[in-house]
Chain A
Amino acid sequence: MSTTTVMKPDLEFIRDLKKAGGDTLKKCYQCATCSVVCNLSSKDHPFPRKQMVMSQWGMKDQLLGDPSIWMCHQCMDCTKNCPRDAKPGEVLGAVRAYAFQHFAFPAFMGKALANRNSLPVLLLIPAMVLLGVLLGGSSGDWGYLFQFTGEVELARAFPHGALEMLFIGGNLLIFAFAAVGLMRFWKGLKAFTPGKSGPGFIPAFIAAITELLTHKKFNDCEETKHRYLGHTLMFWGFIGAMATAGFAVFFTIILESMGSPFYLHSPIDLPNPIKILGVVSGIAMIWGGWILIQKRKSEDAPGVSSYSDWQFLYMIWFVGLTGMLTYILRLAGIPIVGYAVYYVHLVLVFFLLWYAPYSKFGHMFYRTLALIYAKSVAIDNPRKK
């Protein structure tokens, strides 16, 4: 017996995708060149051909519940080979940008991050909070901030305790909000991509994490091979920088308050391994970000980048840059500039962290979950081993 499926195209969704960088999606004529040339495309669940027709038909829920959207690493092999110039790589990028908004909780945050006009307000929030920290910490004595030479006492301007509170408190809140979106996402995956019987959650989890840490999929890209290096540097640089901050808190604050003899004086300096880690991580982020930005900008970039790509890339790159600069200015002993740069650094750090679930930063959550899901239902079988 045949069944009838009634399609309800979501026109608003199609319009939004076009705005988010998918304006070429209607050109696709379903030849499937893209699914074949993509090294990440799965044998049993190929992409992006099918996702192109789903976009054209406005099948929003099906699309957002398809892990392929995140298995795509925007290598652009598809876009380069597409005979219709339909730019499937960009269209999937636009679906991802849409997903950040769609799963956002609270919803208005998703809208704000996607809209370039909201950027000043979004920046203003961490800027004001950190100004508060500065005012509170200095308790009326401003003179040291405006010196042209002398010691740069970062912890005096922005006391570690206050920063930690913002960091930990903010993150708890953000993770709780993110979890709402991620749970919706997971439910969508299960509903719309049943897959096959697979290895189960734990093995899938281990396989996915291993793959993410080694950047295997980036390495399988052809058209944008440079991104393997760029993204690896950025990824590990960021993790290293976070670890540095964590170690610093542990050794300078926690151990001190416990009265441990291993505690360290702030600031930690070279040749302490923690500082080495910090410097190396900073350099990795700057270098990796530079590669990614240059390639996205270059004339022969195989794809175009959307606002959400640029916003995130520049933010994280400036975080690395201002972090390193702060260190240099502290060594050089130029307080007035040192404090200013450190302030900008902190504003950007909190921008990234607090808005993580709604910006492109969220791709780390979504991609991880999607990959775990795809592996757990055995549909992540790229042709290239």
Chain B
Amino acid sequence: MEISASGDRITADLLVVGGGISGMTAAIEASEFGKDAVLIEKEPFLGGRVVRMNQYFPKMCPPVCGLEINLRRIRTNDRIKVLTLTEVTEVSGQKGDYEVTLTVSPRYINNNCTACEECEKVCEIEVDDEFNFGLNKRKAVYFRNMAYPSLYVADPDYVKDPKFKACVDACKYNAFDLDQQPQTVTVKCKGIVWATGWKPYDAAKLDNLGFGQYDNVITNVMLERYSAEEGPTSGKISRPSDGGEIKKIGFVQCAGSRDENHLPYCSGVCCSASLKQARYVRAQYPDAEIHIFYIDIRTPGRLEDFYQELQSDEKVFFHRGKGADIKETGNKNLLISAENTLTGELTEHEVELVVLATGMVPNAATDKLPADTPLDDWGFLLPDAPSGIIGAGVTNRPVEVAASVQDATGAVLKALTAERS
């Protein structure tokens, strides 16, 4: 990899946009073929959405296990250059010869940082923590798991705040650099892999399901944070309204997915995700009843085993018929209405907590993409884009980690054989 003395010009083989599991895999695979890769990520940390999971199916291990191995491989690899807090501003050229302009946002903290926490301790500015979907507050200077490089980061909205000075003063290592400016970097490369992943569908748009209206209706991604030990409740699953325990919990599948009024496609992973989450609840509340309302359970391939295991669990109840209406009762419990399509009766189930199994929306659907990179009707990247840009992972299809990883490997090959076409 050729990097100019000032660091603002890089020549490499591959540019990977998005540092989630797909992007990390793509960069590592390229390096293993002996190619140089630049991996850019707009957040200050790598790992993408997977970092926000408590455990991941099918093996039910904490995601950092897998991610940290990848992180180590990236750190020790000369062929990979990582730029976080970085986004693409312009792409020109074509397959085999691109010139890409990047903008690197200031972190306001330099390599002197030892992650000693002093600045964070004294910081008086608290804001909603977007990482935990606003379930808790974070300081205006903070640290993230999987941060790359492994440094603190300052919130750009608050560095000019008079109260921020206390943080700067608390640092013994002179690590704050509030004069940092956005930097422009140009990458010359042969191939581009686009792996910007997904965001959860906005559950507030689901009129009948009460999200944002009733305290005890949460989404599946929020439940991951509630369940995670390093999460806002230190891993305790409880009712947001009063922190109360759970005797009955309801999962509403296809919340906004397979729905012409919302996401017309099946998000593919949310059935397995709810089955996984049923286990979290089961582990914390052995006596709690788990009610899953579904149209049909979609657990492709080996994930079917995962489903069958839970089917034989006497505390897990599967209801065929969409949870189509949710109302709050006086004690902040929730009534889930559905038609049991096996018995043909309308039913109401009262539960303490409702989890909406919302789907995945590709970020590409709302991002500005380089020219000639067409999307399908739903915002997934189409293959054979005239621009030569190759998608990977959830950018292409709503899939789980294993499929994203496979997809990323294929994407690297396609992106680097650009010269052929």
B258 and A36 within 8 A (CB): no
Known interface pairs A29-B295, A30-B295; A84-B346 also in contact (CB < 8 Å): no
Q: Interface residue tally of chain B, by bracket?
A: 10 to 19
B343 to chain A, nearest CB (A): 10
A36 and B260 within 8 A (CB): no
B18: CB under 8 A from chain A? no
A383 and B254 within 8 A (CB): no
Residues of chain A within 8 A (CB-CB) of B325 are: 36-37
Nearest-CB residue, chain B, relative to A381? B346
A35 and B339 within 8 A (CB): yes
B337: CB under 8 A from chain A? yes
B345 and A32 within 8 A (CB): no
Instruction: List CB contacts (< 8 Å) of A17-76 with chain B.
Output: 29-33, 35-37, 41-46, 49-50
Query: How many angstroms between the C-alpha atoms of A42 and B345 in the bound complex?
Result: 8
A306: CB under 8 A from chain B? no
B77: CB under 8 A from chain A? no
Residues of chain A within 8 A (CB-CB) of B324 are: 31-33, 36-37, 81
B208 and A81 within 8 A (CB): yes
B287: CB under 8 A from chain A? no
Give the interface SS of chain A, mostly helix, strand, loop or mixed. Answer: loop
Residues of chain A within 8 A (CB-CB) of B262 are: 83
Query: How many angstroms between the C-alpha atoms of A82 and B259 in the bound complex?
Result: 8
Q: How many A-B residue pairs have CB under 8 A?
A: 62
B344 and A36 within 8 A (CB): no
Residues of chain A within 8 A (CB-CB) of B322 are: 31-33, 36, 83
Residues of chain B within 8 A (CB-CB) of A81 are: 208, 261, 324
Give the interface SS of chain B, mostly helix, strand, loop or mixed. Answer: loop
Nearest-CB residue, chain B, relative to A80? B261
Q: Pick the contact of B346 from A29, A46, A82 — CB < 8 Å?
A: A46
Known interface pairs A31-B295, A43-B346, A46-B344; A85-B339 also in contact (CB < 8 Å): no
Query: How many angstroms between the C-alpha atoms of A42 and B260 in the bound complex?
Result: 26
| Complex interface bits, B328-363 against A, C-beta within 8 A gives 1, otherwise 0 | 000000000111010011100000000000000000
B321: CB under 8 A from chain A? yes
Nearest-CB residue, chain B, relative to A85? B260
Query: How many angstroms between the C-alpha atoms of A45 and B339 in the bound complex?
Result: 10
Q: Pick the contact of A43 from B259, B261, B295, B345 — CB < 8 Å?
A: B345
A30 and B341 within 8 A (CB): yes
Q: Pick the contact of B321 from A32, A37, A43, A83 — CB < 8 Å?
A: A32
Q: Pick the contact of A83 from B261, B339, B341, B346 — CB < 8 Å?
A: B261
B208 and A41 within 8 A (CB): no
Pick from A29, A30, A82 the residue with the most CB of B within 10 Å.
A30
Residues of chain A within 8 A (CB-CB) of B341 are: 30, 32, 49
Query: How many angstroms between the C-alpha atoms of A385 and B322 in the bound complex?
Result: 23
Query: How many angstroms between the C-alpha atoms of A167 and B345 in the bound complex?
Result: 46
B260 and A83 within 8 A (CB): yes
Query: How many angstroms between the C-alpha atoms of A46 and B348 in the bound complex?
Result: 13
Query: How many angstroms between the C-alpha atoms of A41 and B339 in the bound complex?
Result: 10
Q: Pick the contact of B339 from A36, A82, A84 — CB < 8 Å?
A: A36
Residues of chain A within 8 A (CB-CB) of B258 are: 29, 31, 83-84
Nearest-CB residue, chain B, relative to A383? B346
Query: How many angstroms between the C-alpha atoms of A37 and B208 in the bound complex?
Result: 9
Known: A36-B322, A36-B337, A83-B322. 6 other contacts (CB 8 A): A29-B258, A35-B346, A36-B339, A37-B325, A46-B346, A85-B260
Question: Which B positions have Cβ atoms within 8 angstroms of A?
Answer: 208, 254, 258-262, 295, 321-322, 324-325, 337-339, 341, 344-346
26 chain-A/chain-B pairs, Cβ below 8 angstroms: A30-B341, A31-B321, A31-B324, A32-B321, A32-B324, A32-B339, A33-B324, A35-B346, A36-B322, A36-B324, A36-B325, A37-B208, A41-B346, A42-B346, A43-B345, A43-B346, A46-B344, A46-B346, A49-B339, A49-B341, A82-B260, A83-B258, A83-B262, A84-B259, A84-B260, A383-B337
